[in-house]
Amino acid sequence: MKITVIGAGNMGGALIKGWVKAGMMTDLTITAHTQQTLDCFAQTFPCITPMLDNSKAVQGADVVVLAVKPWLVEQVIGEILPELRDALLISVAAGARHERIDVYAMPNIAAEFGESMTFIEEAPKAAVAAELFGKVGQCKIVPQRLMGAGMMMAGCGIAYVMRFLRAMMEGGVEMGFYPNEAKEIGMQTMQGAVSLLRETGLHPEAAIDKVTTPGGITIKGLNELDHAAFNSAVIRCLKAGLK
C-alpha cells in the first residue's frame, strides 16, 4: 500500500512518524512547501520518500492524506486531482470541505507517539480510514455534528491539557520546586490519574472521593477551583471553538 501525506507540518509530520513507528510495512511519501522541511524528514526517517511536487507524490497512491492549512485545500486538490484516480482521499484540515474528499478525520499530534485521539466523520469509507488512524492511537467514527466537538476536545484539547500542566508547574515553582521538577511531578500525577481511571473504570468524581478526606486539605483545593469557576472555564473553553 502507498500512502502520501501532503503537508509535512505538525499534524502531517506526526501522522507519518507515527505510522513509521507503528512499523507499518507501507510505502510512505510526504510533501511540503519547502525543501528545508523535507530535509529534516529525510535525515531522521530515511524510509519516507520526501517530495516537493504534490502531483507526482500522489501518483500510484492508495491513500492520500491532506494535512495542509485549511485555506490551501482547494488549491492542492486542484493540483493532485489528475493523478488521484481512485485513491482514498482523507483530509485532516479543520473545517475545509471539498466534494472529492472521501473521509474527514480529526487526529491530534500525539499520533507521533501512537497516542492520538482521532475522530472520523461517518462516510462509506470511514472504516478504512479508521483502520489507518487506529495504528497511531484511538479512533472514533462519529456523525458530522460531533466532529467540531471532537476537534475541540482532542485536537485542540492537547493545548488545554498543556495549560493545566503549566498552571501546576507555576504553582509548584511558587511552592519551591525547580521548573523541571515541577513539570515531571505534574506529568507523573496526570499519568497516574489517567491510569487510575483506565484501570478501575471509575468516574472522575469517585476517584476524587478516594483522595479527599473530610475536613482535609484536598477539599480545600477543590473548593478553591470551584470558587474560581474552573469547571465553567473548561466548558466554555471547549465550546468557544464551536461559535
Ligand X SMILES: NC(=O)c1ccc[n+]([C@@H]2O[C@H](COP(=O)([O-])OP(=O)(O)OC[C@H]3O[C@@H](n4cnc5c(N)ncnc54)[C@H](OP(=O)(O)O)[C@@H]3O)[C@@H](O)[C@H]2O)c1
Residues forming the site for ligand X (CB under 6 A): 6-12, 31-34, 37, 54, 67-70, 72, 76, 92-94, 106-109, 155
Question: Which residue, judged by CB position, is nearest to ligand X in the bound state?
Answer: 9
Angle between helices 179-200 and 157-174 (to 10 degrees): 130
Residues whose CB falls within 8 Å of the CB of residue 121, separated by 6 or more in sequence, listed in order = 103, 104, 105, 141, 142, 143, 144, 147
Cβ nearer to ligand X, comparing 42 with 228: 42
**What minimum distance in Å lies between the beta carbon of 126 and ligand X?**
17
End-to-end CA distance of the chain: 39
Burial letters for 191-215: b for 16+ Cβ neighbours within 10 Å, e otherwise?
A: eeeeeeeeeeeeeeeeeeeeebeee
Show the beta-strand stretches assigned E in the chain: 2-6, 27-31, 49-51, 63-66, 88-91, 103-106, 116-121, 137-142
Counting Cα atoms < 13 Å in the Cβ hemisphere of 23 gives 0
**What minimum distance in Å lies between the beta carbon of 105 and ligand X?**
8
**What minimum distance in Å lies between the beta carbon of 207 and ligand X?**
28
Cβ nearer to ligand X, comparing 18 with 172: 18
β partners of residue 29: 4, 49
**What minimum distance in Å lies between the beta carbon of 161 and ligand X?**
12
Cβ nearer to ligand X, comparing 26 with 37: 37
**What minimum distance in Å lies between the beta carbon of 83 and ligand X?**
14
Instruction: Classify the C-alpha dihedral 85-86-88-90 as positive or negative.
Output: positive
Cβ nearer to ligand X, comparing 26 with 29: 29
**What minimum distance in Å lies between the beta carbon of 95 and ligand X?**
7
Cβ nearer to ligand X, comparing 29 with 54: 54
Cβ nearer to ligand X, comparing 11 with 88: 11
